[in-house]
Structure 1
């Protein structure tokens, strides 16, 4: 492939990646408006957020092998079609259930697209040095997507209805379809290569059961029978998945890789980095709008500071890891992230006695920058150690593990932070006399019901709701800080500081998959 054409292909697949990542973060600013218009309850609100990364994470392991059978050009184009149709369905959803289903379909499209983008880069860039540069650009676009999502959501909600946050995907899909059809090279399909659909569905079913059990267990009045059934289903399906992988000649996941200490540390660090940052973005976005009264656009601009802090350390992380070692890099990144989370908590006006409630919301920006800086260090070092833990012929499988770690971190960050925040709000709110009982279900409901009350009762209700919300907000960030600190301790104990760092060659680091080229 000629030089200009392959770089234009890189721009095309990066556009697809940005679209995938934006759909992970664009709802942070749109969620209060969206749930209010659709009348979604707190449980439905969490599933609106979680359905997308949940389905995507569950299908990622099998998506690469499917590309072997049908070719990655076709995989990329079909993924775009599914993503575009799901975006239309989401934009015009008339109920929370319909939106949850559309978000799940978006996850199918994203899982189809993501491995195909990296595999097309592998095919187009034959020179190892150029390929490394291309994959670095590809990875950086995901961080840009994180920053763009909240801002884009805010801009759209300033001028249009909530469905526009999904409808914006359609023109992007059309452009990428045309460009991909022209630029993407045709790859040979391997009809004899098996594709384990059953194992892929097992992975997704196990995740659904685990997340549901987790959500129900932290919800006040959670159904114990539902928790037990969901947890048992997750356990049984996971055990069957492991057994199936041991019996397969071409498994989705080589279980021997998971015993490597470096891969374990990298997986935990990658998941924790996304867990803490995703959760912090989610609860901060809600607080800025529901407590501070910020617009969606203003909220997006504030939250984007996290991604701004991530960019420089993420780009410099490779050189720093080479100089200081993976162990020190991961530990430093997690500790810096923990410090940033604490700083966000300390500078959130009115939550702690350090700042009055009337202080400006811009006080949280330094904490977000620090949290982002730690995240950038952790992401780069974690990805490097995961990739270096696998031999060259397993580089693609290691890359899939890396992506699953990020998706699981995002998924559990949303589920845990959102559930803890909502549960503590409901359990601790002290409603004033004559306040509507429905105000205890969520801060969104309290604000909506307060609009129908006279000034004095409305103020009393909002004060009580804010106190309960901030109590939940405080403990979610404390939990995030503690888990990041535990990740740093796990890294210190699991990796021997005297062990030499294994360097990853450009060829092995860049190879997307032996099973998914």
Structure 2
């Protein structure tokens, strides 16, 4: 049987859909540097600020799979163009929000549009690149956009704030959408092979309710922001909804999501890689930024410059992963990249950031490169294991892994750091108990308490906080290294029989 003809516009299609993906990724991180200014401008409370930040990834985690399966039913082109329109409108609404409630509403719309864009982008790449080797390269370039966008978010937000008001960080999406939407309209084929059957709206509601409840309960539980009396019922509700959704899928003649996808080891391996690698990358970057500023005393700009190696290496890891996978095989590349990532994190745990020399930037670059390679390998494994008409559903599963990894990774890393920090810090003598309890919460609280104390006592508390945070950072990197090493072994086993659909594989 002869291979289907290759689309002569396939690389232009790749450019268009990856650019459509860029604003979605930027919006995941762009608010990190804008929050202080935004809070003052809108008079937002602490609870409102948390919802402004969390509502976007929370809803995305719940909506990605339903939107991906919808795209498989009605076509990626229709859903993608609708998502671009919603995202552009929501960006304008967010930019000109006059209250915290209005901004939260706009962020809900942004999540709705973004959840339509992400699985469609991956589904279109799967349909456009039938050849497995070309698809690996295409997914590598897509991964570069994802890594670069996440790194660009805080930098773009900080740069815009120096010259414009906080809403400008959302308006930057609009010109790009005005270019990308027409390009997608004309480049993407109007006729697509779709999955038969109707999209089950009731099943989608079960999945959305279950995922959002489960993720919220986990984040709130580990973050300690809500009492157990509130968290446990939400957790139970989420588990019940997901159990009912699973039961419905298994019994339905028209299931919304093909659960047999989870019987394919490469897809399971890809989802786990996406979740763990994203969690490690986001968590390590967050704690490293705190170490550089709180312990070593670098300014935010100096800390950003220090972290350039991990950001740049992460951005170029995608295409390198595609080429390496085609040359040496996905199983070897995925396993070796994760083992090298584990080694680099273990080394960073023992390194002296005050005298970095050449070895610390090199280790940071290795960590960024190998974790990014692992993320691209997860895309190749997932998208190479499904037929083109199931690309949207598979892409949504991968996207859910990214969202859960990013959101839960930061939460879990933060809770781990706080726990180790609280036990490691040695309080100066004669410090009042309420102040000591506050100082144990985090190194940020340590600095706040120290500002209220006399000179020598305050300096002693800060010194104790720095020592405790460094100890916690070492423990965190050691645990992250062990987890990724264990993941490498699991991936090696799960990818033993991997053969991509559309190519011979390795």
Taking structure 2 as the reference length, the TM-score comes to: 0.80
Where does 1:86-485 land on structure 2 (aligned, <5 Å)? 86-91=90-95, 101-118=105-122, 136-160=140-164, 162-177=166-181, 179-180=183-184, 186=190, 193-219=197-223, 223-347=227-351, 349=353, 358-359=354-355, 364-391=360-387, 394-422=390-418, 424-425=420-421, 433=431, 442-444=442-444, 447=447, 459-460=459-460, 462-485=462-485
After superposition, the C-alpha distances for 1:214-270 in whole angstroms (9 at most, x for unaligned) are: 334434586222332232122211111111211333433222221233332222222
Q: Alpha-carbon deviation of 1:128?
A: 9.1
How many Å separate the matches in 2 of 1:492 and 1:273? 15
How many Å separate the matches in 2 of 1:439 and 1:97? 32
In 2 relative to 1, CA 248–100 (structure 1 residues): closer, same or farther, beyond 3 Å?
same
How many Å separate the matches in 2 of 1:325 and 1:122? 19
Q: Alpha-carbon deviation of 1:18?
A: 1.2
How many Å separate the matches in 2 of 1:93 and 1:289? 32
Q: Which residue in 2 is equivalent to 1:502? A: 499
In 2 relative to 1, CA 430–361 (structure 1 residues): closer, same or farther, beyond 3 Å?
farther
Q: Which runs of 5+ in 2 are unaligned?
A: 1-6
Q: Which residue in 2 is equivalent to 1:513? A: none
How many Å separate the matches in 1 of 2:335 and 2:276? 12
Q: SS of the counterpart of 1:252?
A: coil
How many Å separate the matches in 2 of 1:5 and 1:492? 36
Taking structure 1 as the reference length, the TM-score comes to: 0.78
In 2 relative to 1, CA 308–439 (structure 1 residues): closer, same or farther, beyond 3 Å?
same
Contact 1:344 1:364 in 2 (8 A): yes
Q: Alpha-carbon deviation of 1:422?
A: 4.4
In 2 relative to 1, CA 259–392 (structure 1 residues): closer, same or farther, beyond 3 Å?
same
How many Å separate the matches in 2 of 1:176 and 1:488? 37
Q: Which residue in 2 is equivalent to 1:66? A: 70
Q: Which residue in 2 is equivalent to 1:511? A: none
Q: Which residue in 2 is equivalent to 1:487? A: 487
Q: Which runs of 5+ in 1 are unaligned?
A: 350-357, 509-517
- Length, aligned pairs only: 495
How many Å separate the matches in 1 of 2:85 and 2:110? 10
How many Å separate the matches in 2 of 1:384 and 1:66? 22
How many Å separate the matches in 2 of 1:394 and 1:128? 16
Higher mean displacement: 268-277 or 486-495: 486-495
In 2 relative to 1, CA 310–246 (structure 1 residues): closer, same or farther, beyond 3 Å?
same
Contact 2:345 2:367 in 1 (8 A): yes
Contact 2:144 2:316 in 1 (8 A): no
Q: SS of the counterpart of 1:26?
A: helix
How many Å separate the matches in 2 of 1:438 and 1:117? 46
How many Å separate the matches in 2 of 1:6 and 1:325? 24
In 2 relative to 1, CA 378–190 (structure 1 residues): closer, same or farther, beyond 3 Å?
closer
